[in-house]
Amino acid sequence: MTTKLANSSPQTEQEQLHWSFWLGVAFFVLVIVAILSSGWMLTQRMASEEAVPVTSIVISGEMPYTTEQDIHSAMENIDLGNFFHVDVNEIQQQVAVLPWVYSVSVRKQWPNELKLYVVDQAPIARWNGDFFINAQGHAFQADASRVTHGLPAFFGPEGSEVTALENFRNFSSLLTYKNLGIDELVLSERYSWQLLLSDGVTLNLGREERVQRIQRFMDVYSEIKENKKENQQVDYIDLRYDTGLAVGWKSAVEKQRV
């Protein structure tokens, strides 16, 4: 027996190729539509997220003098209606000009939060009555009523802030051995130094050999107090001599009155 195999006709092959082509085109079109649809949806989602306003402001840091209300007031003119459009540099500049602020950093936390870290000035002393000096020796002006602890008072020519602070630290480190502090430091236009100590005694140091003169004072101060008369207190000690010193006295009644 002879078996004959049926072969596909040329017309059948053409029809198969025709349908394969259009199926490929249809698949390609579907892929393009899917890509465009995904892109459109992503764009809409991003646009929706961008429209989300900042609804949370977190303030932290070291702020013994600046209040959160101060910071919110400094930011009241800033548009927080669009998270992605909020300018952190603008916020930083607005907060940094607050009188008690020393430094501030700002960052955004997706999706709707601002985080501020604020560090206040650290006043070391009052300066010429109306200003303060910070730990870096820079003068600044701020609301003095927010300082509830005592500060020494510095007086000196403009531009001498760093010099005043450096000498204050040097003098203080020596005087602590006698349990004495400095309530007032005066630097004259000619750079002559005068100190008012915590026990009410004034030291005139002059311009030269200031550290050596304080050491001389410390060597003899206990002896000076032991030799005072009854109802008598040391008013000032003048150390502006190559050797020795001069002592001024006042009555204890006068000291109490002052």
pLDDT score at 3:
47
pLDDT score at 37:
75
> What is the C-alpha to C-alpha distance for residues 32 and 65, in angstroms, rounded to an integer?
61
pLDDT score at 5:
46
Q: How many residues does the chain have?
A: 258
pLDDT score at 258:
41
Q: Which of 32-41, 66-75, 169-178, 219-228 has the lowest mean pLDDT?
A: 32-41
Region label for 223, one of left (φ > 0), alpha (ψ between -120 and 50) or beta (otherwise): alpha
Beta strands in 47-122 (DSSP E): 56-62, 101-109, 113-120
pLDDT score at 23:
72
pLDDT score at 38:
72
Which DSSP state fits 195?
E
Average pLDDT, the chain: 88
Q: What is the arithmetic mean of pLDDT over 185-198?
A: 96
Provide, for the chain, the percentages of residues in helix, strand and coil under a 3-state DSSP scheme, each rounded to the nearest 5.
40, 25, 35
Q: What is the pLDDT of residues 29-60, one digit of tens each?
A: 787 877 877 766 665 665 555 568 999 999 99
pLDDT score at 19:
66
Residue 99 neighbours by CB under 8 Å, 6+ apart: 140, 141, 142, 143
pLDDT score at 65:
97
> What is the C-alpha to C-alpha distance for residues 139 and 165, in angstroms, rounded to an integer?
11
* Alpha helix segments (H runs only) across 75-209: 88-96, 161-175
> What is the C-alpha to C-alpha distance for residues 104 and 94, in angstroms, rounded to an integer?
10
> What is the C-alpha to C-alpha distance for residues 113 and 55, in angstroms, rounded to an integer?
6
Beta strands in the chain (DSSP E): 56-62, 101-109, 113-120, 123-127, 131-134, 139-140, 153-155, 182-187, 193-197, 202-206, 232-238, 246-251
